[in-house]
Amino acid sequence: MYKNKKITKPIYIGDIQIGGISPVSVQSMTKTPTSDVNQTVNQILNLSDNGCDIVRCAVPDEKSALALKDIVQNSPIPVVADIHFHYELALKAIESGVNGLRLNPGNIRDKSKITDIVQNANKKNIPIRIGVNFGSLPPVGSIGKTKGISRHKMGVEELPKIANINSNQYSQVEHMIRTALWEINILESLKFYNIKISMKAFDIETTVEAYRGISKIVPYPIHLGITESGTKDSGSIRSAVGIGMLLYEGIGDTIRVSLSDDPVEEVKAGNNILKALNLKQTGVTLVSCPGCARADVDIIKLANQVDKITQKSKSKLKIAVMGCEVNGPGEAKDADLGIAAGVGKAVIFKKGKKEKIVNSDTMLDEFEKEIRKMENKIT
Amino acid sequence: MYKNKKITKPIYIGDIQIGGISPVSVQSMTKTPTSDVNQTVNQILNLSDNGCDIVRCAVPDEKSALALKDIVQNSPIPVVADIHFHYELALKAIESGVNGLRLNPGNIRDKSKITDIVQNANKKNIPIRIGVNFGSLPPVGSIGKTKGISRHKMGVEELPKIANINSNQYSQVEHMIRTALWEINILESLKFYNIKISMKAFDIETTVEAYRGISKIVPYPIHLGITESGTKDSGSIRSAVGIGMLLYEGIGDTIRVSLSDDPVEEVKAGNNILKALNLKQTGVTLVSCPGCARADVDIIKLANQVDKITQKSKSKLKIAVMGCEVNGPGEAKDADLGIAAGVGKAVIFKKGKKEKIVNSDTMLDEFEKEIRKMENKIT
């Protein structure tokens, strides 16, 4: 955790704490039909196995809402139901035992229906995430009732100053923040405070400024993400830039990377963001050099082999793969374990000190042995 | 360019301006033996074709230094020679016509040799990048001569304050900054100011704080990178977090992503970081939804197909691929062109407005036609 971490009001999704001083959790979303229990549970097991802490399932119809019962019972991780407009589906999802809802009360509109959802969520102590998305904001005129959100000791007049918004211009960022406050206000007016917030956009600047703004105003935990971020490669990078920057400045309690790819890739990307910022409690961190005309061996192949054998390790080891016997051990001096490969031979080193010399043809096996030894010591 | 961009002293590597108000350029490094002209030129052509602006080649021996002559003549982009310790190799690389050097004068030590390099670089107007790397810093005691770097109107006493460093502790960040100033001072004392700086580490916090510190002190353009960042997936994400954050706050004139992978992947990752921050002048930006139980089609496949057909486009189009006919056009309303796929049919839309409805089996072809039409209009 960063020393400048913004400490938010903790909430619980199942047994996972979000906010407070809890570690940042990684979320994903199933892409199978939720009504298909087998497919969905299998995808969740795979996600969990790859380091997913919380999973969300879309609930487009009644069959899906009912299927959630078996899904929740067979899921090793907490399950959140994603509801768009349908009040009955929210109630059925709660009945099915989900651990959280993602639901914008502004989409449901009818106060008695929202009250019904909130009362049922309260009974089971289920939090609701308000997910403000740039692409589906309500019209500007329709959220005029945010005036006097006294719980946060501010009126809308102060928003531009607090959120550092240029007050001469009603920007998209301001509209996102006002929408969030409007949605929050609907729940707070019903005395429901078990809330989590997200402010997603595709554009990094919009996303970052919206999150910065809302996190200055409300005490609720923050769910970070970039919407429609793209395919695996470009989407991971876009998400890493936006989510990483916010985490580094202390904003964000849980994250989801959205990719047009297998959700396992979302989880891997999320964990890689956390590892890059030393925010991940478990898993190997791989240091490896890019290789250049100075490298005598196929460092790319070796690095990827080591990556593969350490991918699912739960130990928090820092492992280095270097293509240069001369600089390798020095450049990776703070790695727990490293290998520097030269012609025909490789040096295995621990904390920058030479441990042993091995032949190239057995170096991967020898290195794996050392990794497993150290894992057993540490875990 | 961000409004808060730190405007640095411009330098030129071949015809590419770095610093000032120039766009951020993308660099990579060949991984073939530099002495093998054919292999190296082919790799450079491939890099250039994928959007690389400047390429660097390691020069581990004389044969490589001499090969640079043919490489430079056949390269469509400027070539930088990477020199470690050998003074003669630097001179030979300059003779071979390279457009820049990466060389730490502190590694060469002998003042007359450094003078010789500097004079030859001056004659050909070749800049030198000082590349401070966390892994290969000189011992703390050996850089005591930075006192009174009067050109920057400061002495070392003021460094902790300027660089926002905790002065009670001589940190690795401070040591990196002092090392950079020491190296810079060696060149400045010879009246050489055609300088670019990098401050690379594996750790994000170390890297970010080192760059923030040095950029407050010196006027030279900044080359951003994270060292030994790992394999393609984890390394791209680590680099995106570190490089992205710095660019967003206005620091950085040129970037290189280092990956244990084909250097083309480094270039793609670099360009994706720039695109994520709206800093790239050309190339398609793909918006695509992650898909969920609401999507009726294989949105992952479609997004990746569209990514493939637009990968090398030079037009600056924003293209959306959505898995939901209902929300798709709205959520991607600022895309120039989009497709929202439903059961059996897909809607092609322009700037959020429906353009036409096509059948699923021909949707990719139809969409590509529309993309090419729009490219021709815009380019």
| Measured CA angle at B359 (ends B358, B365), to 5 deg | 75
B267/B290 same-domain check? no
A268/A290 same-domain check? no
- Select the residue from A41, A206, A231, A305 to test the B interface by mutation, using most B Cβ atoms within 10 A: A231
B47/B16 same-domain check? yes
B151/B100 same-domain check? yes
B196/B324 same-domain check? no
CATH number of the structural domain spanning residue A266: 3.20.20.20
**Residue B97 covered by a domain:** yes
- Give Dmax (Cα) for chain A: 75
Rounded distance between C-alpha atoms, residue A144 and residue A106, angstroms = 12
- Whether B290 sits inside 8 A of A333 (CB atoms) is no
Per-residue DSSP letters for B88-131? HHHHHHHHTT-SEEE--HHHH--HHHHHHHHHHHHHTT--EEEE
Instruction: Dihedral sign for Cα B275, B277, B282, B288, please.
Output: positive
- Whether B260 sits inside 8 A of A291 (CB atoms) is yes
Determine contact, residues A270/B234, Cβ cutoff 8 Å: no
Which residue among B259, B276, B293 closes a domain? B276
Alpha carbon B48 to chain centroid distance? Answer: 13
B132/B203 same-domain check? yes
User: Residue A330 is nearest to which of B135, B272, B277, comparing CB atoms?
Assistant: B135
- For residue B316, the SS3 value is coil
Each residue's pLDDT tens digit, B91-116:
999 999 999 999 999 888 889 999 99
- Whether A231 sits inside 8 A of B60 (CB atoms) is no
B253/B321 same-domain check? no
Judge whether residue B167 has pLDDT over 60: no
Are β-strands A100-102 and A128-133 bridged in parallel, bridged antiparallel, or unpaired? parallel
Enumerate the residues of chain B whose CB falls inside 8 A of the CB of residue A292. 29-31, 58, 82
- The pair of structure tokens assigned to B236 is 């791209």
Each residue's pLDDT tens digit, B320-364:
999 876 667 777 778 999 999 888 899 999 988 889 999 999 999
A229/A160 same-domain check? yes
Rounded distance between C-alpha atoms, residue A80 and residue A10, angstroms = 17
Each residue's pLDDT tens digit, A281-307:
788 999 998 888 888 778 899 999 999
**Residue B359 covered by a domain:** yes
**Residue B115 covered by a domain:** yes
CATH number of the structural domain spanning residue B352: 3.30.413.10
Nearest chain B residue (CA) to A332: B135
AA identity, residue A97: G
**Residue B3 covered by a domain:** no
Per-residue pLDDT of chain A (379 residues; tens, 9 = 90+): 667 899 999 999 999 999 999 999 999 999 999 999 999 999 999 999 999 999 999 999 999 999 999 999 999 999 999 998 899 999 999 999 999 999 999 888 889 999 999 999 999 999 999 999 988 888 877 775 544 343 444 445 566 665 655 555 568 898 899 999 999 999 999 999 999 999 999 999 999 999 999 999 999 999 999 998 899 999 999 999 999 999 999 999 999 999 999 999 999 999 999 999 999 878 899 999 888 888 877 889 999 999 999 988 888 899 999 987 666 777 777 899 999 988 889 999 998 888 999 999 999 999 999 999 998 876 4
- Whether B208 sits inside 8 A of A322 (CB atoms) is no
DSSP 8-state class, residue B26: E
- The pair of structure tokens assigned to A191 is 């005395």
B238 Cβ neighbours under 8 A, 6+ residues apart: A240, A272, A275, A276, B202, B204, B226, B229, B230
B183/B319 same-domain check? no
Q: Where are the alpha helices (H) located in chain A, listed in sequence order?
A: 37-49, 62-74, 87-95, 105-108, 111-123, 159-162, 172-188, 204-217, 232-248, 263-276, 299-310, 328-331, 363-378
- Whether B241 sits inside 8 A of A238 (CB atoms) is no
From its phi and psi, is residue A191 left (phi > 0), alpha (psi between -120 and 50) or beta? left
Alpha carbon B89 to chain centroid distance? Answer: 25
Rounded distance between C-alpha atoms, residue A109 and residue A84, angstroms = 12
AA identity, residue B194: N
What is the Cα gyration radius of chain A? Answer: 23
Whole-number average pLDDT of chain B: 90
- Number of domains chain B is built from: 2
Enumerate the residues of chain A whose CB falls inside 8 A of the CB of residue B303. 230-231, 260
Enumerate the residues of chain B whose CB falls inside 8 A of the CB of residue A289. 227-228, 258, 260
Which residue among A221, A246, A276 closes a domain? A276
**Residue B77 covered by a domain:** yes
Work out the minimum CA distance from A133 to partner chain B, whole angstroms: 8
**Residue B6 covered by a domain:** no
Enumerate the residues of chain B whose CB falls inside 8 A of the CB of residue A204. 244, 248, 276-278
- For residue A51, the SS3 value is coil
Which residue among A249, A276, A303 closes a domain? A276
**Residue B4 covered by a domain:** no
B293/B234 same-domain check? no
Determine contact, residues A369/A337, Cβ cutoff 8 Å: no
Question: A48 is in which domain, residue-wise?
Answer: 11-276
User: Residue A136 is nearest to which of B59, B203, B330, comparing CB atoms?
Assistant: B330
User: Residue B331 is nearest to which of A135, A230, A236, comparing CB atoms?
Assistant: A135
**Residue B106 covered by a domain:** yes
A269/A230 same-domain check? yes
A270/A294 same-domain check? no
Each residue's pLDDT tens digit, A76-130:
999 999 998 899 999 999 999 999 999 999 888 889 999 999 999 999 999 999 9
Nearest chain B residue (CA) to A206: B277
- Select the residue from A35, A164, A241 to test the B interface by mutation, using most B Cβ atoms within 10 A: A241
